[in-house]
Amino acid sequence: MDGVTKTGFAVSVSGMNHYFGSGEARKQAIWDVSLDIAPGSLTVLMGPSGSGKTTVLTLMGCLRDVQEGSVRLLGEELNGASGAQVVALRKRIGFIFQAHNLHGSLTATQNVMMALQVHGSGDTAAQRRAAHHMLGLVGLADRVNYLPQNLSGGQKQRVAVARALVSNPEVVFADEPTAALDKESGMTVVDMLKDLGRLRGTTTVMVTHDNRILDRADRIVTLEDGRVVSDKNNT
């Protein structure tokens, strides 16, 4: 079942602690975080700068090793997971970062196609068609052959969104994906993610400071000093 696991949660975090540094400098950044994320939902992570949002997001998305506690992503335990397990899981998820991490020497189309090439799915012509389709959905139909240096900040961010979504991920992790976007394209991105949740059961966990997005969220989790201080369903 896509995006749904035996436990019924897309992501299930329990008793997670995380530390940075070593020896005298070792500091605890995340304190006993537990969160169950329902499949198909849009969850927003909020909180002041340094409260641990990016750390929690990257731990849930297997971009960092889990040190203490349990993190189950799509039913698989990440604490102690093998390299092969992590590689396989990463193919089922999408990431959108504030720093969009596009390859400067590749066009918009080629950047989006890369996400399909790592999966080895389809031939080049099919990958190009899928990339063009997704770039059209984010409003970049007339920019498909542009290099990142010739795109605005918001346009680059939309390429990053297209790249994250083109492979139909089961879970999307997004770290301030609308920060570089004007109001209208920011809401387009969020509405796309919501529609994916409805249509395909895609689960989204998004860090944002953007108040306009809160209305669209199913759930709002607030972190402070590495702890969950509030967890509200937005009904």
Ligand X SMILES: Nc1ncnc2c1ncn2[C@@H]1O[C@H](COP(=O)(O)OP(=O)(O)OP(=O)(O)O)[C@@H](O)[C@H]1O
Kindly list the residues in this chain that would bind ligand X in the complex (CB under 6 A).
Answer: 20-21, 29, 47, 49-55
Shortest Å distance, C-beta 54 to Mg ion = 3
Residues engaged in binding Mg ion (CB under 5 A): 54
Shortest Å distance, C-beta 18 to ligand X = 8
Q: How crowded is residue 36: how many other Cβ atoms within 10 Å of its Cβ?
A: 13
- For ligand X, the closer of residues 47 and 61 by Cβ is 47
Shortest Å distance, C-beta 153 to Mg ion = 18
- For Mg ion, the closer of residues 54 and 109 by Cβ is 54
CA 234 – CA 218 distance, rounded (Å): 5
Q: Which H helix or E strand runs over 23?
A: none
Q: Which does 39 bind (CB under 5 to 8 A by kind): ligand X, Mg ion, none?
A: none
- For ligand X, the closer of residues 14 and 58 by Cβ is 58
Shortest Å distance, C-beta 223 to ligand X = 7
CA 69 – CA 67 distance, rounded (Å): 7
> Which residue minimizes CB distance to Mg ion?
54
CA 181 – CA 156 distance, rounded (Å): 9
- Taking a C-beta distance cutoff of 8 angstroms, is the pair 71, 16 a contact? yes
CA 18 – CA 33 distance, rounded (Å): 9
Q: Which does 219 bind (CB under 5 to 8 A by kind): Mg ion, ligand X, none?
A: none
Q: How crowded is residue 222: how many other Cβ atoms within 10 Å of its Cβ?
A: 17
- For Mg ion, the closer of residues 170 and 175 by Cβ is 175
Shortest Å distance, C-beta 19 to ligand X = 9
Shortest Å distance, C-beta 150 to ligand X = 28
- For Mg ion, the closer of residues 112 and 213 by Cβ is 213
- Taking a C-beta distance cutoff of 8 angstroms, is the pair 95, 160 a contact? no
Burial class of residue 164 in the structure, from the number of CB atoms within 10 Å of its CB (0-12 exposed, 13-18 middle, 19+ buried): buried
Q: Which does 194 bind (CB under 5 to 8 A by kind): Mg ion, ligand X, none?
A: none
Q: Which does 8 bind (CB under 5 to 8 A by kind): ligand X, Mg ion, none?
A: none
Phi/psi zone of residue 113: left (φ > 0), alpha (ψ -120 to 50 degrees), beta? alpha
- For Mg ion, the closer of residues 12 and 54 by Cβ is 54
- Among residues 65, 89, 97, which one has the least CA distance to residue 206? 97
